[in-house]
């Protein structure tokens, strides 16, 4: 089959690789019809991770089941399914509690597995024609009769919609509260969209890319351009001095200033400044244990210079980590099905799989208008 | 009246000061019968805070009501009451949510007020014969008929028992879970005691003072001497490789190694290492916004070099801040009354108010056996 | 002053009564500018309660502070305030936990007090020119600068908006879930509106009055006319056999069939049939301890023939009781202020206080179009 | 193999039946070493259910894995495992949320399956030498190295310990609160034991069998003999007029007075009387949709005459349903392993499988001293 393969820093190509097949009786095989490029794919693309050369990338996948193992009882051939980016067993201690992003058995020695991702186990990605799905009855989200019609909405259930939603849940956002979100990339925009769906009174989004800030305003959020304003002052002003009730971090360790210099602690410390005493922060932007290529000496060892004194004095809380997609994907699917959510507003480009290398290049450059790329391997 | 007054770094004295009086119709006046020296008093004693010279210290107070203002309807003269260290109005947005440690009206411009404490408003402390209690109906916890008999238990409701309890709640400890607690001072021991009452399966306490570790074992916890063992390795071993489900920080920014060198980030980073993926940490040890006297360059500005990469990768959470005493003090009072809790096990010294300067000196030196000092101003 | 007085079953009149005044230093005096007639006023109007003749009715009140007692520190003369229907002290065990609908001190011997209501203490109602507000700092919700402009929205914060919201919270409704609401009176409509704000995927409302069902559809809910359809079958159909995730009871013990015969158990049993296994029900429709005038023999003693076998088998939960208005009114006020909620859509009549007797008559007859009456005593 | 078979009302016998075998690749086969008779087995024994003649009973099972299907990856031959009485798939909407007692796929058309139980699917029970366990990786709780030594403790994880625990969780019991429990049978005693482990201040248990009340006192609860006292008055007295914070129903629909007359509503209505305003009740005693043999006319149709007026006025909540065993069994296992819980205190008889018919007879007669029977099929 054809697949998008990592060839080294800033090099990816589409070529033939061996077809995946049913390996265990609990597996399913899915023909991919839509698969996205994720902002976190760029960490690998840029060579900032340990991902091995030859890996097929892609963890935002949707398609049609074409074969199932003997032990699969719920999922049927022909089902349209969306796959959570986390691969989970369903029976370990973490999966049982709904912490499927931290499965203890699918990636032995680590808590959590994913398709086509650095450090997340030996699983191939879905920027390809076919995908093997382990523990299919647990991991496949079956889609309703409008699966094809709303495919670009449903594919967002694989990662960014639940991840944005997770940011608001980690922040314990409640209806009628205000929230400030750092980052208006796909995940930040989904966090803003989630906050609006949940009844937030004010959703403030901090970024500096005009196309992203426009999308934020388009869904009803308040855009704050941090290349022009101090976001903490602006949040204070917008909240009449009360500060934001809650905050979300949707940028991660490669946060940088308008001049491109990386400051891995800037978003967290700004959140401490922007959120009111007793508030909470949800962090879904990725931070890593070590990054020898980071220009920040602390970050080389996975550390940030964190304003913990102010954090404590204000009695703040922070929750972190990759989203447990399965905790949210059923309800979010139903919101899409009933017309109450339409996350495809974020899609800027619909391309063939063959166009993926080109798309990586533009998306990595954060070119204006390259908000979200969906690939159609079956097209 | 007689009171313990702060005269400057490592200088306190007991002498006559003006009697407090009813200033507002919602006030009560309390004759103090027991008041404790708290570990956090030592931050002021050591000159590491902005506390003003002449301040009467003492925020762990219990006594008898001798006068009430015209608007006080529930509390009566003669009531034995324990006073939460936080002074709260009861009607601001934070108080309404039970966040009485972050009252928005009793210390304008800041969230939170307390008796006799740096930066917590103009309120005099209770290491004295008398204390003015604002918003008496809200702030007084009335004690039952065994108030005098169990006075040394009930006085712990003013701060350390609820603060230790708060550490476990911030960590979201649940019955059947394991917890590791850094610090076996009074608050750490109360956190351990709280965890045991709540049905934890394993309570591990890290410290290096033999008297404190003995007390930890005496209440059923597992003592870990970090001057002899790597606590992360020991926790891993005790949990068969699973690590602790939850963690508590009960030390604060003046954490130091066995040689006395301060490392403000050591407890938090060790907790990140000791707690399993998806776990939570409760931090009640005090961290400050700035400490020019800290030997750590980051801490001078209130920062710590925090292992945020590992924290994120494990999907950890942390909650912080001073305890909202009123959230817990009724239920803890009832546990004492019904014989299910006896926090006075921690008391090492019962002294007269006049002995307070002497006690500060020994307690500050962390001399063996000086675990917790209670003062009896009325004796 | 002028006030609406209960003269006996189906008799109310507006006439002069003694002005209220500051009785305790914690009181405030409010000049009422808007006050509503509530569906629960009709229980008294119809003579189905123990309310005493001569009582001034009215518990949905909003106005301007014209005098405060000596102990009031936050609320100022001139403030525009909305008053929760519950009168609460702020310092009893229930108030501390946010259960202000069950205050233990404002109505001794009972848990809960209210203005102008049977069995809820000696407090006069606000269908009058003036109102005494006890514990003013705790009970007054101050309104922002658009207080007058949005007065008909803000007045709904006194009762029906928080009560409808409470129904959804008792039912533990979560975003993406479906909910069925019995009753499209003002509270049922507010429950539906609350569910939509909170991100429900499907909001189904059961009633039979065309004007109410039209309003339900107008806000995005699905109307079910139970005079034409079996609501359980319709809910099953709408949810593809899954049944509703959650349910709300917004009718109460005087529920009746289309022919007017009362069946106090019909709404609860229909909810048991309509809600899926593991679901929850929130009941805010009023049920009483005894009603000698009920045609149902069990209800004379406050009982209903409840389908507890099915309720248990499905593992259902139910939460009940009057709303703790203060738990919600700040956030709901902010949603109104920021333009995210506009509960005044429910208002059908804006009348002078003098018109109140006439309005009671039409509202009690549930005449088409008499959805919600707001009175303007100051007009 | 030998098994205990239901032959009709009050008739059971032990005889040879066909051996179970691996039917699906996700199955395991377990050699039963301990299996209990449960109070709910008596509903079937007495002919009050629809259980079919020839059914092998027994849903409280523990044993050793002797064979696993091809798809089983975690559970190994030789593992000592305890089986939750609920049979759950792990991947349906309810299982995902931890509601494994209401699995949607293992008993099509109904929410919930169990071994050897009326209406809970075609599964054979474990009062036998062998048991087939579906979805073995999800349903087997593996036991640690003291599995054999503490077998009579661990077997309680199959049902009564989690079920008693569930009663306290449905009641939302919190540390420092009081609770009243109706029923001191095995489940009621486990609820009391659970409440004590969780830090309740007062645990009151209502029953009338001296042996059971003695056991309640032995674990630290307060026994209330309702054949001698009005339990509501006694609870009021013990709580100084405050009533119990929370309540648990551990009796079910066959509740009867000391003369043996059934009153299916008596425990729920007494709980409404015993629990304070704003409290919660957890109901785990079984209630059924219909019981034609009930002497109570309402109960024939699955109804009870419920004091809903008082229930509403007090703002009470009730949660019901069979326990989701997997939600609790890991933590409770660990409490046993670490010596913090020893639920085998309840065992009165350890018998061979052959003695089961004799045991049913005595246990059904509630003879003094027949508290809990454990059977040893492998002995």
Residue of C nearest to D297 (CA): C305
Quote the mean pLDDT of chain B.
97
Contact D7, D52 (CB under 8 A): no
**CB B111 to CB A277 under 8 A?**
yes
Query: With contacts defined as CB-CB under 8 Å, which chain C residues touch A340?
Result: 199, 201
Q: Which of B198, B334, B337 faces D198 most closely, judged by CB atoms?
A: B198
The pLDDT value recorded for residue A379 is: 78
Q: Tell me what pLDDT residue B328 has.
A: 98
Phi and psi based region of residue D321 (left: phi greater than 0; alpha: psi -120 to 50; beta: remaining): left
- Other C-beta atoms closer than 10 Å to the C-beta of C70 total 16
- Do the Cβ atoms of B198 and D175 come within 8 Å? yes
Q: Is B41 on the interface with D (CB under 8 A)?
A: no
Q: Tell me which chain A residues have a C-beta less than 8 angstroms from the C-beta of B111.
A: 276-278, 314-315
Residues 6+ apart with CB under 8 A from A375: A4, A34, A35, A36, A37, A127, A351, A352, A353, A355, A356, A359
Q: Do C25 and B70 touch (CB under 8 A)?
A: yes
Residue A71: closest CA among chain D residues belongs to which residue? D25
Distance, CA of C337 to CA of C153 (rounded, Å)? 9
Give per-residue pLDDT as tens, B50-104. Answer: 999 999 999 999 999 999 999 999 999 999 999 999 999 999 999 999 999 999 9
DSSP-assigned letter for residue B264: T
Report CB contact under 8 Å: D330, A70: no
Q: Please give the pLDDT value at position C343.
A: 98
**Does residue D163 have a pLDDT over 90?**
yes
Q: Which of C186, C92, B179, A332 is nearest to D277 (CA)?
A: C92
- pLDDT at residue A246 above 90? yes
pLDDT reading at B379 higher than 90: no
Contacts of A96 in chain D (CB under 8 A): 98, 326, 330
Which residue does chain D place closest to B338, by CA atoms?
D201
Which residue from C210, C293, C288, C226 is spatially nearest to C259, judged by alpha carbons?
A: C226
Inter-chain CB proximity D317 and C286 less than 8 Å: no
Which residues in chain D touch residue C317, judged by CB atoms under 8 angstroms apart? 170, 317-320
For the segment C142-177, what is each residue's pLDDT rounded down to a tens digit? 999 999 999 999 999 999 999 999 999 999 999 999
Query: Which of A309, A313, A317 has the CB atom closest to B317's CB atom?
Result: A317
Indicate yes or no: CB of A310 within 8 angstroms of CB of B289: yes
Residue of B nearest to A307 (CA): B303
Q: What is the pLDDT of residue A378?
A: 86
pLDDT at B304: 98
Collapsing DSSP to helix, strand or coil, A219 comes out as coil
Given CB atoms, is B105 within the 8 Å cutoff of chain C? Answer: yes
Contact D304 C302 (CB under 8 A): no
Bridge-based pairing state of the strands D244-249 and D178-182: parallel
Q: What is the pLDDT of residues A323-364, one digit of tens each?
A: 999 999 999 999 999 999 999 999 999 999 999 999 999 999
Our CA angle for A25, A30, A33, nearest 5°, is 175
Distances (CA, A) of D161 to D190, D327, D336, D344, D346: 5, 12, 11, 10, 10
**Beta-carbon separation of C24 and B98 below 8 A:** no
Asked whether the predicted pLDDT for residue C236 surpasses 90, the reply is: yes
Q: Taking a contact as any Cβ pair under 8 Å apart, which residues of chain A between 171 and 190 contact chain C?
A: 174-177
Q: Which chain A residue's Cα is nearest to B119? A: A313
Q: Which of C175, C177, C340 is facing A201, going by the closest CB pair?
A: C340
CA distance B350 to chain D (A): 28
% of chain D surpassing 70 pLDDT: 100
D348 interface with B at CB cutoff 8 Å? no
**Which residue has tokens 């509903």?**
D43
What's the pLDDT band for A302 if we cut at 50, 70, 90? very high
Mean pLDDT in residue range A88-110: 97
Is C339 in CB contact (< 8 Å) with chain A? no
Q: In this predicted structure, what is the pLDDT of residue C299?
A: 97
Distance from CA of A308 to the nearest CA of D (A): 31
Q: Do C334 and A198 touch (CB under 8 A)?
A: no
**CA neighbours closer than 13 Å in the CB half-sphere of residue D196:** 22
Handedness of CA A194, A196, A197, A201 (dihedral sign): positive
Average pLDDT over residues D48-74: 97
Contacts of A313 in chain B (CB under 8 A): 287-289, 321
Do the chains contact at A197 and C199, CB–CB below 8 Å? yes
Write down the ipTM of this complex. Answer: 0.98
Residue A307 has a pLDDT of 98
pLDDT confidence band for A70 (50 / 70 / 90): very high
Q: Identify the sign of the CA torsion C325, C330, C334, C337.
A: positive
- CA torsion through residues A112, A118, A123, A125, sign: positive
- Chain B within 8 Å of A321 (Cβ-Cβ)? yes
| Residue C349 C-alpha, separation from nearest chain D C-alpha, in angstroms | 31
Alpha helices in D83-145 (DSSP H): 93-96, 136-139
Residue-wise pLDDT tens digits, C179-229:
999 999 999 999 999 999 999 999 999 999 999 999 999 999 999 999 999
DSSP helix/strand/coil, A214: helix
| Min distance B308 CA to chain A CA atoms (Å) | 5
For residue range B161-206, list pLDDT tens digits in order: 999 999 999 999 999 999 999 999 999 999 999 999 999 999 999 9
pLDDT at B378: 86
Taking a C-beta distance cutoff of 8 angstroms, is the pair A325, A162 a contact? yes
**Subunits that touch chain B (at least 3 Cβ pairs < 8 angstroms)?**
A, C, D
Q: What is the distance in angstroms between the Cα of B350 and the nearest Cα belonging to chain A?
A: 32
Q: Concatenated DSSP letters for B225-251?
A: ETTTS-HHHHHHHHTTTS-EEEEEE-S
B279 dihedral zone (left: phi>0; alpha: psi -120 to 50; beta): beta
Q: Are C344 and C152 in contact (CB under 8 A)?
A: yes
Tell me: pLDDT of D287 over 90.
yes
- For residue A147, which phi and psi values (nearest 5 degrees)? -55, -45
Element (H, E) at A305: strand A304-306
Best B146, B176, B192, B239 residue to mutate vs chain D (most D CBs within 10 Å): B176
- Which residue out of B157, B198, B199 would a mutagenesis test of the D interface target, given it has the greatest number of D Cβ atoms within 10 Å? B199
C125 CB within 8 Å of a chain B CB: no
Q: Does D134 touch chain A (CB under 8 A)?
A: no
Q: What is the pLDDT of residue D379?
A: 78
- Given a cut of 90, is residue D376 above it in pLDDT? yes
Asked if D175 lies within 8 A of B331 by C-beta distance, the reply is yes
pLDDT value of position D378? 86
Beta bridge partners of C16: C2
| Helices D186-197 & D160-170 angle (0-180, nearest 10) | 60
Mean confidence (pLDDT) of chain C = 97
Q: Does any CB of chain D come closer than 8 Å to the CB of residue B335?
A: yes
For D247-270, the pLDDT digits (tens) are 999 999 999 998 999 999 999 999
pLDDT tens-digit series, residues C313-366: 999 999 999 999 999 999 999 999 999 999 999 999 999 999 999 999 999 999
Put simply, the answer to whether B289 touches A313 (Cβ < 8 Å) is yes
Q: What is the pLDDT of residues B230-285, one digit of tens each?
A: 999 999 999 999 999 999 999 999 999 989 999 999 999 999 999 999 999 999 99
Q: What is the pLDDT of residues D223-252, one digit of tens each?
A: 999 999 999 999 999 999 999 999 999 999
Mean pLDDT (chain D) is 97
Q: Do C315 and D102 touch (CB under 8 A)?
A: yes
Residue D17 has pLDDT above 90, yes or no: yes
Question: For residue D330, which residues of chain B lie inside 8 Å, CB to CB?
Answer: 176
pLDDT digit string (tens) for A121-165? 999 999 999 999 999 999 999 999 999 999 999 999 999 999 999
Residue D318 DSSP SS3: strand
What distance in Å separates residue A294's CA from the closest CA in chain C? 39
Instruction: Write the CA distances from A354 to A37, B13, D280, integer angstroms.
Output: 13, 80, 60
Structure tokens at B187: 């608050």
Q: With a cut of 90, say whether residue C379 has pLDDT above it.
A: no
The mean pLDDT value for C28-57 works out to 96
Which chains would you list as touching A if contact means 3+ CB atom pairs under 8 Å? Answer: B, C, D
């Amino acid at each position: 089959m054809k697949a998008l393969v990592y060839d080294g820093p800033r090099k990816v190509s589409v070529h033939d690789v061996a077809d995946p097949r049913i390996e265990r009786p609990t597996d399913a095989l899915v023909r991919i019809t839509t698969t996205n490029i994720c902002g976190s794919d760029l960490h690998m693309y840029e060579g900032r991770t340990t991902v091995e050369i030859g890996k097929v990338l892609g963890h935002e996948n949707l398609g049609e089941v074409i074969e199932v193992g003997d032990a699969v009882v719920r999922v049927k051939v022909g089902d349209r399914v969306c796959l959570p980016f986390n691969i989970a067993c369903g029976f370990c201690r973490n999966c049982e509690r709904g912490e499927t992003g931290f499965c203890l058995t699918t990636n032995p020695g680590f808590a959590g597995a994913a398709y086509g991702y650095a450090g997340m186990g030996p699983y191939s990605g879905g920027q390809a024609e076919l995908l093997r799905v382990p523990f299919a009855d647990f991991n496949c989200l079956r889609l309703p009769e409008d699966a094809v019609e709303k495919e670009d909405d449903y594919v967002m259930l694989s990662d960014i919609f639940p991840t944005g939603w997770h940011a608001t849940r980690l922040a314990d956002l409640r209806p009628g509260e205000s929230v400030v979100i750092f980052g208006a990339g796909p995940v930040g925009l989904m966090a803003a969209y989630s906050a609006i769906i949940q009844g937030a009174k004010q959703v403030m989004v901090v970024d500096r890319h005009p196309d992203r800030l426009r999308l934020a305003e388009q869904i009803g959020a308040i855009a704050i351009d941090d290349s022009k304003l101090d976001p903490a002052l602006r949040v204070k002003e917008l909240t009449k001095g009360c500060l934001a009730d809650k905050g979300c971090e949707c940028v991660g360790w490669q946060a940088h200033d308008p001049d491109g210099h990386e400051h891995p602690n800037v978003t967290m410390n700004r959140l401490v400044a922007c959120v009111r005493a007793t508030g909470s922060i949800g962090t879904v932007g990725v931070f890593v244990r070590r990054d020898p290529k980071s220009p920040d000496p602390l970050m080389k060892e996975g550390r940030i210079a964190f304003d913990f004194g102010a954090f404590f004095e204000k009695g703040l809380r922070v929750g972190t980590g990759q989203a447990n997609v399965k905790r949210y994907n059923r309800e979010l699917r139903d919101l899409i099905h009933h017309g109450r959510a339409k996350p495809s507003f974020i899609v800027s480009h619909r391309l063939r799989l063959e166009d993926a290398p080109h798309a990586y290049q533009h998306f990595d450059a954060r070119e204006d208008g390259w908000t979200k790329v969906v690939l159609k391997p079956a097209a």
